[in-house]
Structures are given as C-alpha cells and as structure tokens.
Structure 1
Amino acid sequence: MTATASFAQEKKSYTLEDVIPGGNNYFNLVPKNIPGLQWWGDVCVRTDVENIVTINVRNGKETVLVTLDEVNEALLNGEKPFQPTQELKQLRTLMGASLPWGDQKVITFRQGNYMVWYDFGQKKISNLFRLNEKAANLDFCKENGYVAYTVGSNLCIAHEGEKDLQINPDEKKADPMDIVYGQAVHRNEFGIYKGTFWSPKGNCLAFYRMDQSMVTAYPQVNTTTRIATLEPDKYPMAGMTSHKVTVGVYHIQSGKTVYLQAGDPTDRYFTNISWSPDEKSIYVIELNRDQNHSQLVRYNAETGAKEAMLFEETHPKYVEPQHPIVFLPWDSNQFIYWSQRDGFHHLYLYNKEGQLIKQLTQGDWLVQDILGFNTARKEMIIASTEISPLQTNIFSLNVKTGKRTLLGQQDGTHSARLSASGTYLIDNFTSFNVPREISILPTNGKTGINLLTATDPMKEQYNLPEITLGTIKAADGKTDLYYRLIKPVNFDPNKKYPAIIYVYGGPHAQLIHNNRFYDARGWDLYMAQKGYVMLTVDSRGSDNRGLEFENCTFRQLGVEEMKDQVEGAKFLQSLPYVNADKIGVHGWSFGGFMTTNLMLTYPEIFKVGVAGGPVIDWQYYEVMYGERYMDTPQTNPEGYKNSNLKLKAGNLKGRLEVIIGGADPTCVPQHSYTFLRACIDAGTHPDFFVYPEDGHNMMGRDRVHLHEHITRYFEDHLK
C-alpha cells in the first residue's frame, strides 16, 4: 500500500495537447481567472453565464444584479421599441454584456445582428437596432448610443430601428478595396489599431479614408476552390508607392462630412488622432515617409482647416509616435504628450498652444500605458517598467508634484482596469512565483481586497523543468541582456544535452517577463521534457529597454542582434551539461529571419533550425515597418544587400526547415519561395512545409500540428 500511494503521488508528463493553445487540455491547465470583471461606473461587476453580479469593493461580497432569465423574458415576450424583422432568439450567456453608463441601470449586448439595450431597473428592452450582417470593426459611443462599423470598404453608423446609414459616398473603383473607409491604416503601425474616433460628446465621428488604388496588389491565392482563385492583398513594399490617407469628420446633426485640409497626403503618415474636449479641434501626429520628422498638427473640426503646427520632433534614425495626446480632465487647456526624446518613452505636459509646461516622468525606464485619471486627486494612473524592464507595474502619478505611488504588489507583471472616477482599479497580476492574483485596489495607495489567488494546475499535476533567469553581456561587451534558461526535466548534471535557442530579436517584442514560467511557451517546456536545454535571450533591438537599445540595429537588421544571439550560444557551450556540437535555433516572423540568418552566417555553431514565416529579403517587406528600421532599398542598398538571405543560400550546411502559412499577409510567401529558388541554384537543401490558407500564424488545431511538426524536426536531426 505504501508503494501504491507513492506511485499515485508521482507527477505526470505532459503532451502538446496540454501546453499548446488549441490543445484539447490546454485551458484546463492555465491558472484560474475571473472572466467578465468590469466597472459599472465605480461599481465592480462580474458578468457570468447566468447572472451579472456586483462585487463590494470593501469586502468582496457578491450581489445578483441581472439574471439571464429576466433578460430572455424581455427578449421573447416583453415590450420592444419596434418589432424586429428577424427573430430575437434566446440569449445563452451574459458573458458578453457590458454596463457602459454608471448612472443608468442598463446593460448592452449583441444578439445576432441586433444591438440590445436592456433596462434592468424597469425590466424592459429600452433600445434595439439592427446591424448589417457583415458588420465589422464595431466602435460604440456611449455618449450618443451610436455604433460605427464597416461593411466591406464602407463606413456605417446605426443607433435605432432596422436601418443603418452609410456615411461615405459610393465611389467607382476597379477593386472594391481601392478606397477603404473607417479601417486601420498604415498597416497597423504607429499604434493604429482602428479607423474611427468618436468625439468626446458624441457629436462627431472622425475616420480614416485610405486610397490604395495606386498600391501594387500582392497575388495571394485561395486553393480551396476547384480552380485556385486570386485574392490579392494591397501590399506596399519598401521603396514602392504607398497608399494615401485622409481624415474625414462626420457631423451627426447636420449629416455633413468635411476632410482635414492636410495638403498632399503622398508619402506621409497620419497617426494618433485625438479630439479636444470641446470637440472644436482635432489633433493629428503627422510623420514624413522617412519617419524621422513628426509634427503635432491641430485642425478645425467644423471646417477641416489647418489651424496650427504646435511642435515637431526629429531624430537622425527614426521618430515613432505610438500614442495620441490626452487632455487633462480637470484642465482642458493642458494635454499629455508621449515622447522618446530623452531615450525612453516618457510623458510631457503641454498647454493647448503647444508650449511645454514640464516633463512628468523621467528615468531609465518607460511608461507603457495611461489607464486613466483620478480627477478628485488630480492624478493619472500609469503602467510602467520603473521597477524592472521584465515587468509592468501600476502607479498613480500626481500631475502637480510628479510623485508616483505604487499600486499593488511590487512583484510581477500587472494589468489593470480603472473605475470611472479613477478611485479604484481591478489589478490582475502574475509573476514567476504567483500564478495569478486579482484584487480591487484603491488608487490612493492603500490596501484593497483580494478576489482570487490562483494555484497553477501545471505545477500541481506535472513534472516541470527548472527555469532560471539571468544576464549575459551583449556583443558590445557592456550591455546586460536577460536570458531564460530551461534545463531538461529530471536533469542529470553528468549528461550532455542538445540545446535550442528560441529567438525573436526584433523591435516591439520581448520574450522574457516576470510572469508565469518567465514567459516560456508551452513548446519550450515540452522540449525540456524531451531532453533539450532551452535558451532565450532578449538581444539588442528588442523592446522595453529604451531607444538606444532598440535602434542600434538601424539600417542593418540582423547584424547586432545576431552577434548577441551568438553570445547566447557561447553561454550554452560553456555549460558542462550542453553538447556544444548540438545547438539548434527556432523562431517565427522576425525570429524566422533570425533563425535563417544564424544558420547561414554561423553554420559552425547552429546545426538545426526551424524558421517560421521568415523575412528573407527586406525589400519584400511592407513600407512602414521596413523603412523605419532599414530606410528604402534605394537609400540603403548596402544594408538591404547584407540582410538579403538569398545571397547566403550557399552557406547552408546544417538542416533548416522553413514553415509558412500559404496565404501569409505579413511575410508574404514570396520571401520563402525566392529563398528556395536561391538554395536550388546554390545546390543547398532546406526543407519546406506549408499550411494551406493559413496566415502569418497557425491557430487552433493547426497550432498543435505545427508544434508536433517542429518537434519531429529537432528530434530527427538534432538529438
């Protein structure tokens, strides 16, 4: 019996189904969360399947606010503002409901093609309107109750009844996507993630109009049809003609649209749109094509006339605006502006005429987000890397004094949602030692209440590897680089293990954080169980370490970053338990570029590689990202030549597999196809695998298959 009990307590081995998103057991093994937490004004609520409950911010006690049964009764049998033409079917869950108005007892949700307002005070449907069945990019304005959305390349608004309103004119165009309204532009660079911007009181809607008629269409192919069909994607490559963007303003009451009179939009980027509190002005950060000169420009929202260029920034390498200006809620004459002018993303206070009042934050760390304001205390709530570049912490910042107060625990990576007045926040954090902790915290720095302290099912049930964090010196001999090292499960110091470096190395990405497993992916853990040492190094060029750390790779992508990854390989070779002759490398996207480049440039070190969705030749990459970091092929021919991996195809000595999505819109298939051609011409032999119809990343079951495939490749050729 003793032996049986001991055996029962032994921890299990895990499979890819356990550790890869899309695996059939993956979501059973992540630390418990509390989905549906949100604010109803300053009241914390939780939406669930059957109920919406309030949570007392002092003791955590829950009280039922709305039930699914009462909502369904109103949907099916209650009085409605009008009789909808389509049946309103029974609602199955309240998880997707929101409570946008803190002073009203109303929830909103989408049911089929309808937006529904349920008044739980009067227990009736208070508003109901229909959206087009092809509605996308929904943007709800709580000030006026309207929803802006796109249908194909058109922009519509709706707020009552069965009809929506298309606010852009129909235009003759050879391709339906030649002219696009209301969608994100500039290929989602510069912090652009949407194409519509409601004014503060909801009287106007600013929107992007993108003319792509002059942009070369990349010939993506759909192979699911009997005869493969052409589905082109407008894709401006580095150095080629890009699209033209203008900004329109639709006035709800008059129904008229004006366009900002910005002059010729050719080779300019219109970013970070924001409104003045009185809705009279629109602010746009405009950037030249070289991306080294930005201007904050104010326009008249009624006429579209350019009123003033408030100030400008220049940099010999690049300026990269990522955030719109934010006006102080207690002073409409002052706004916050983000800048990296001192080397780190910090906040600056300006008056509305563009005169600098003061710098609000400074230091060798960066502000990552503005969560909102506590107007009563004249404080703003920010997220930053002040404690460590490996984590995000939440602080209150007194705008007058500059004093910052830490909110929540110092440990870990935090995300937070602020209540309407800024008095409380919901803090959700994880660290290497804390699987998840969720609390409601007052923003005055005092202690709040804990809603959840989760355990980790993976740690409880499975035999996990040892994971350590450390630093090595970069190739410049002075910069500290963070690394994450994972030893094999059941590690034996007397053995020699093969090793794999998982790499990214490019801008706007960081692979190591103080969170669960130090951000190690499920595949890293799985390969440690297979008997591999796994290493990741955040090399120079990656995120959250300041401008100098990132832009040292300017005009020569793949040089300094590779040198740092080689330092990581040397570190592996110095470990007595690593087989120095069996080092592999794997990465995706920029990491695919790095993987291929490392295999071709340092074949004596890297013996096996798997490159996913790789950039092979930067002249095939899109204008905005490519030209920011490499300039154009015309102005930087040497840099493009040195990073063109087709020219190194003859250097391949180890085993390299390239994997792509067959319809990748980010790193288009031409990258990999031309690399294969170069290898054929050079007499080298990479392997190749395609996921038909997939994009830049594999999702769902394809993601599990992908990691099975990657694992097999290393097992066959590196072990």
Structure 2
Amino acid sequence: MKRLFIMCAALLFAASNMISGNLLSLKDVAGKTFAAEYLSAVSPMSDGDCYAMISKDGKRIIKYSYKTGKQVSVLFDVNNTVGEKIDKLENYIMSPDGKKMLVQTNSKKIYRRSYTADYYIYNIADRKLEKLSDNGQQQSPVWSPDGMKVAFVRDNNIYLVKLLYGNSESQVTKDGKRNEVINGVPDWVYEEEFGFNSALTFNADGSMLCWIRFDEKDVPTYSLQMFKGLEPEMTEYSEYPGLYSYKYPKAGQKNSTVSVLSYDIQSRQTRTMQLQMDKDGYIPRIKATSDPQKIIVYTMNRHQDQLCLYGANPRSTVCKLLIKESVPKYVKEEAMANILISSNHILMPSDRNGYMQLYLYNMNGQLLRKVTDGQYDVTDVYGYDEQTGATYYQAAGKNPMNREVYVTYKNGKTECLTSRDGWNIAVFSADYKYFVNQWSDRNTPYEYGIFNNSGKETVSLITNSELKKTLAEYDLPSKEFFSFKTSEGVQLNGVMIKPANFDASKKYPVIMWQYSGPGSQQVVNSWNIGSMGQGALLDQYLVQQGFILVCVDGRGTGARGADFEKCTYLKIGDLESKDQVETAIYLGSLPYVDKNNIGIWGWSFGGFNTLMSMSEGRKVFKAGVAVAPPTDWRFYDTVYTERYMRTPKENPSGYDVNPIKRAANLHGELLICQGLADDNVHPQNVFEYTEALVQADKDFKMNVYTNRNHSIYGGNTRNHIYRQIAQFFIKNLK
C-alpha cells in the first residue's frame, strides 16, 4: 500500500510539472488568440522621408516619419471622406507622385494571388473619394506615371480611366473571354508558378499601355465538382452539384500562347511586339523603364534554363535582346522575380557560379560588375541607389537558418545592417537612408523598428509584448537547432522541440513535419517556423501531448547553394524521401526516442514526400498524415513540374518515382486529407492514389473537405483538420 501511495504521488508530481503552464487548445491555435501584431501594407512615400501604413483598426491610412517613427498625418479615413463612402479598407495603391491613391474594398478571391475588388480614386488634398468604375468590380489596377490615368482588367479585358476627363472610362481590348483569351492578368499557371497577378504596365510617359495576352483556348480544361456546403453556403447546388471549369495545363500538355501588345492611348492603335522566342516559351514578366521608348519583357524557354530580357519599343514594336541568363538545370523563379529595374540599371540575381549572387548591368545589357561575391545565397533584393551605387539586399550570410540585411557599396565593401541572429526583412525609404525592419527568431515573435542605413536602430515600433505575455502563460519549450550526417555523408539541418518536462531517461514518440519542396525551408530561425508557422504553435500543441516534434530540411531545400538545391533535378521525391527516412533512423538512435513510434506528416509537397517516405522501403514510420498531396507529377502543372522534371515524354522514369507506383510498399497507418475544390493539387491525385492502395490491399483513412481549396480553411475547417491530425497521431503513436 505504501509503495502504491509513493507511485501515485510521483505520478501527480509529474502531472503537475506537465501542466505548470496553461495548455494550448486547437481552437486557439487555429484562431486568432496567438496572432502576432504586424505592420500592415507599409509603403514608402516618394518624398523619401515618410512611409504610409494601414492603421490597426483597418479604417485609416497613416503617414509616418522614417526619422522619428511618429505619425505625420492621416492620408485616408473611411469616416472622413467627401463624396463616396465605404465601410472598410482592405488595401491601397499610392500614385507615383503620392498625391492620390486607389483604395481597395469588397475583395473577392479568385486564386492564390488574384481577386476582384471595388476600387476608389482618393485625392489626398481634398479628401474626395470617387468610384474607379460604375460597371463592375476591377482587377489589378495600375497607375500611369503622372498619376492621371488608371488601367485595370475586368472580365479578361483592359479598361482605361482618365482622371482629367471626369474619370471617363474606355475599353482597350474586346477579345477577352473566360477560358479563351486573357488580357493584362496572368492565367492560372503563370499566377501560381511565376508568382504575380498583373501583366499590365504603362510606359514611362504614360502615352502607351503594354500588356501580356494569354490565348488559352487550346489549354486542356479541368473541372472541380462543387456542392451546396456551408460556410459559405451555395444554394445553387442544393440538389445537384455543379462544376467549376478552368484551364489547367498538366505536365507535358499545351500552355497558353502568349504575346505582348501595346496600345497608343492617343491614336487608339494596338500593336504586337516582335519578340524572338520559342513558340512554346513563357513571358513571365513585363516591366516599365524610365525611357518611354523601352519596356522590358522577360522570356523563358519551356525547360526554364534560359531567361532573356528584351528591350521592347512599344511604338516600333522592335525588340532587342539585352541579357541572356543561362544556368544549369533551371533558373529559379525567385531569381527571376527579384530582378530589379532602376532608372539606369538592371540588377540581376543569378546562381550561375553556384550561389545566388547579384550582377549589375546597364540598360543596354552590358555587365558592369558582380556586386556580391560570397559563398552564400542572396534571398531578396531591396534596392539600388543610383546616386551612390550602393546595393541593398537580404541574404543567408551567416548560415542557412538566418537572414540578414546587407549593403554592398560601389567599391565592393559589404556591411551587415542587422546585428541580431534571426530573420530580418526590410522596407527601405525611397532614398535608402532608412528602413523599417521586421525581426524575429524561432522563439521570439515579430519585432519592428526603424534603422538608418548604417544599421543603427533609431525607433522601436512594435515588440508584440502582449503576445509575449500570453505565450509566457503556457511555458512553451524552446526550439533547438541540431544537425547530423546521413549514411551518405550529407549534413542536414534540423529543429527539435522537446516537452517542457523532458526526461532524458524516458523514450518519447516523435512526430516529424516537413515540406521538402525545391528551394523551400522549414528549419528557419524565424517566428514563421513550424508546420503551420505561428512559432510552431500547432507543433507545440502536439509536444504538450507528450511527443517530441522534429523537422529536417533534406536535399533540394534552399539557402545552401545551387548544388544542394538542384541535386534532386529529374528525380523529385527520391532523395527527399531518403533524407526523411535517414532522419527517422538518426532520431531512433537517440537514447530518449522511441524508434518504434515515429510519425511523419506534411501538406502539399510535404504530403507527397510523406507518402514517398512511408513507402521508401525502410519501415521506420509507424504513422503518417498527407494533406493535399500530389501523387503523380503527370497530374500537376507544366511550369512547376517541368522546371524540375522536364516533360513526362522526356523523363518517364523520373515521373514513375511516385506514391502511386510505390503504393504496394506503403508501411504504417495513413490519414489523407483533401479539399474537394483544390484548384492547385487536384482531388484526382488522392482518388487515383487511394485506388492504388485499395488494389494493393493497403488500409488508410481519408477526410474530405467540401468546397475547400488547397489551403483547406473557412468556418470551423482549420480547427477540424488540426484535430484530425492530432488525434490520429495520439491514437497511433502512443
């Protein structure tokens, strides 16, 4: 009896240690309880002294001083306008001269980056608010350089509004038609994989409009089945489901035929640019320059290992090749997206020498110098100062897990402008004298401050003190970095979260999360760390259930140079799954890990690699969860898939390394989650995969989410899917 009393007392003591802080709930994790405070829509003003930002209540746009961090004036207030009235503010676009803005409200999402909205023209001086158009919502509006014209897209056609003529609206194109022709905004695959939502620009003097035209008539159509559902409820499908059909080019299939057009606003003449490009090539960007006779058009070949920049004359239509970037395997999408075109120079990121570095060209395409020269990757470009020749950028200069803000001067000298280890993101003033910096690390929520261009913090803006107080009540354990070598001698970086009452003499079950896609990173010294970001709060919830949580970035992930990232070329999923299996084997060798109870999960590419890892052949995973997983790259889109795999015809053996082919090798309990309205990774992937599992006589569980897209959210959905994941692991690993 005495021994039983001692045992009970010990258990009570252990339990009291476990709950010394508050316990996380999934509803709080899925909701806004732990939402960090942000600076919203920071926009540098053209004067160089100030920046604009949306207020915390979302009702005003406020002008702040870079020098003092203090409010200078209220630029816009929903409760203080002349003319039109709106209830809420969602975003804004400043005019180039800073005297007007387009105010955005009532947005309706289309895909990941696209939406329509009601835009209003707002004159800051007299507070006059006017509708941009009375004829329906608008998409992707752009200002002319003089701020006197606005162009936008509606129903795949371009419209022009002239402010000097009573906001008169005219139609520029008339051939736009759903699922046939798109003018001025990208089609689905361009938007998703080239990362932009506008393909429309004025030239430098505002006399011409230039845009990319997408002819998608011959692109195959994919249809998603839609139901009545709830949150929101679509009553038109109350009895019979409907179809949402759109153009989606799968690997090896036909893409949109693209061209660049110009429109002379005075003569109303439309011309087609004489671009020299492959018939099946891409036009992933169109940019204005400071020269009215030149716009920059980007082209890529279908293999995406060549990127060309052309100077195109919108009047003569003559196009001159300025820069031809050719690198082994593929040009990274981020490299293309981070090209900076200033008034007299083109700043181009390239990994041509093994690491992403910066190269400076003049506007005629002549290489002037290599700006950076390090054994690290530049990860973002902030600006080039034409006056001083200084270049400002972000890089993983210390190690792959961190990000710093740097300046490299014209003489080649480089300085780091941020001193704290962690993740730094900058927004520079127009004259580069100041920048707003967002900093966080894996254990600390975001902090914002203003720095001068010598790297000194002059003003503290946000510390997220309230969130820090809230988190302190939960006694959450720290996230610890580690590294190890695989059996192939590859050094991998990881992060581990142990329970708050960790006892090294015990053996704990482990849940591994990962994404593993090309160029991605999950092991980061940032508050964005975690399977669902937010300081790994979902993962911390699982830690409170008695698990150790681990993430390892395997081969193919980012910020470790081109060789490490591109070694998965033509064989996506092979090395990535091997590295997750090697991680499980390494963890199983640790004295405090229960090697018989290790699970793995991931979303999207992470779901794909979960399935690949569970069927790799070495039976190290007892359970896994795959959310919205691709299961055969033949089902995924051209741009992403062919960038890393070429076409199925060119690389059939590479495409055959997939979860469907490996279905008979699946080992461990499996839960699959899929949104039925996923326009990105189609339900076809899991339907074909589960059929393969059935025929291989493999058991699995599956949750479907009605009318949900790739993000699987809305109403109670996110809380529900979190609970399914947590309960599945609790049931199968403990």
Closer, same or farther: CA 619–373 of 1 in aligned 2, 3 Å: same
CA distance in 1, matches of 2:276, 2:400: 41
Secondary structure class of the residue paired with 1:563: helix
Of 461, 464, 485, the match for 1:454: 464
Stretches of structure 2 that go unaligned for 5 or more consecutive residues are 1-15, 107-117, 229-236
Corresponding position of 2:625: 610
* Contact 2:359/2:372, CA 8 A, preserved across alignment: yes
Matches within 5 A, 1:27-66: 28-35=33-40, 37-40=42-45, 41=47, 42-48=49-55, 49=57, 53-65=62-74
Corresponding position of 1:503: 514
Aligned: 1:179 with 2:184: no
Corresponding position of 1:665: 679
* Contact 1:466/1:488, CA 8 A, preserved across alignment: no
Of 632, 645, 659, the match for 2:659: 645
Q: Deviations over 1:676-707 (max 9, x none)?
A: 11112221122221111111111243111111
Give the CA deviation at 1:44.
3.7
Secondary structure class of the residue paired with 1:231: strand
Of 541, 552, 575, the match for 2:556: 541
- The residue type equivalent to 1:509 in the other structure is S
Of 565, 570, 576, the match for 1:550: 565
Of 601, 606, 614, the match for 2:616: 601
Of 191, 211, 219, the match for 2:215: 211
Q: Deviations over 1:463-488 (max 9, x none)?
A: 213321111224530x4321010112
* Contact 1:375/1:422, CA 8 A, preserved across alignment: no
Corresponding position of 1:422: 432
My pick for the range that moved more, 336-345 or 197-206, is 197-206
Closer, same or farther: CA 713–402 of 1 in aligned 2, 3 Å: same
**Aligned residue pairs: how many?**
681
Give the CA deviation at 1:232.
1.6
Closer, same or farther: CA 118–297 of 1 in aligned 2, 3 Å: closer
* Contact 2:351/2:562, CA 8 A, preserved across alignment: yes
Q: Deviations over 1:93-150 (max 9, x none)?
A: 667456546664x555246745132334xx4428653254332233344533433332
Give the CA deviation at 1:62.
3.7
Corresponding position of 1:440: 450
Corresponding position of 2:421: 411
Give the CA deviation at 1:443.
1.6
Corresponding position of 2:379: 368
Corresponding position of 1:271: 284
* Cα RMSD (Å): 2.8
CA distance in 1, matches of 2:257, 2:76: 49
Give the CA deviation at 1:610.
0.6
TM-score by length of 1: 0.88
* Contact 2:578/2:613, CA 8 A, preserved across alignment: no
Give the CA deviation at 1:159.
4.2
* Contact 2:577/2:610, CA 8 A, preserved across alignment: no
Secondary structure class of the residue paired with 1:220: strand
Closer, same or farther: CA 561–530 of 1 in aligned 2, 3 Å: same
Secondary structure class of the residue paired with 2:622: strand
Stretches of structure 1 that go unaligned for 5 or more consecutive residues are 1-5, 76-87
Closer, same or farther: CA 431–460 of 1 in aligned 2, 3 Å: same
Q: Deviations over 1:36-62 (max 9, x none)?
A: 654333224454246655544444444
* Contact 1:414/1:428, CA 8 A, preserved across alignment: yes
CA distance in 2, matches of 1:149, 1:707: 39
Give the CA deviation at 1:310.
3.2
Q: Deviations over 1:143-175 (max 9, x none)?
A: 33433332222222334456533321236x7xx
Secondary structure class of the residue paired with 2:266: coil
Give the CA deviation at 1:510.
0.8
CA distance in 1, matches of 2:539, 2:498: 10
CA distance in 2, matches of 1:659, 1:606: 18
My pick for the range that moved more, 270-279 or 701-710, is 270-279
Closer, same or farther: CA 609–447 of 1 in aligned 2, 3 Å: closer
Give the CA deviation at 1:557.
1.0
Of 624, 630, 654, the match for 2:645: 630
CA distance in 1, matches of 2:708, 2:371: 45
Q: Deviations over 1:501-556 (max 9, x none)?
A: 10111113211211227545322111111111111001110122221111100111
Closer, same or farther: CA 401–710 of 1 in aligned 2, 3 Å: same
Corresponding position of 1:149: 152
Matches within 5 A, 1:261-300: 261-262=274-275, 266-300=279-313
Secondary structure class of the residue paired with 2:499: coil
CA distance in 1, matches of 2:446, 2:96: 29
* Contact 1:485/1:536, CA 8 A, preserved across alignment: yes
CA distance in 1, matches of 2:388, 2:440: 28
Closer, same or farther: CA 625–114 of 1 in aligned 2, 3 Å: closer
Give the CA deviation at 1:383.
1.6
Closer, same or farther: CA 237–64 of 1 in aligned 2, 3 Å: closer
Corresponding position of 1:348: 359
Corresponding position of 1:580: 595
CA distance in 1, matches of 2:44, 2:365: 34
CA distance in 1, matches of 2:528, 2:475: 14
Closer, same or farther: CA 179–32 of 1 in aligned 2, 3 Å: closer
Give the CA deviation at 1:613.
0.9
- The residue type equivalent to 1:181 in the other structure is N
CA distance in 2, matches of 1:313, 1:326: 15
Secondary structure class of the residue paired with 1:490: coil
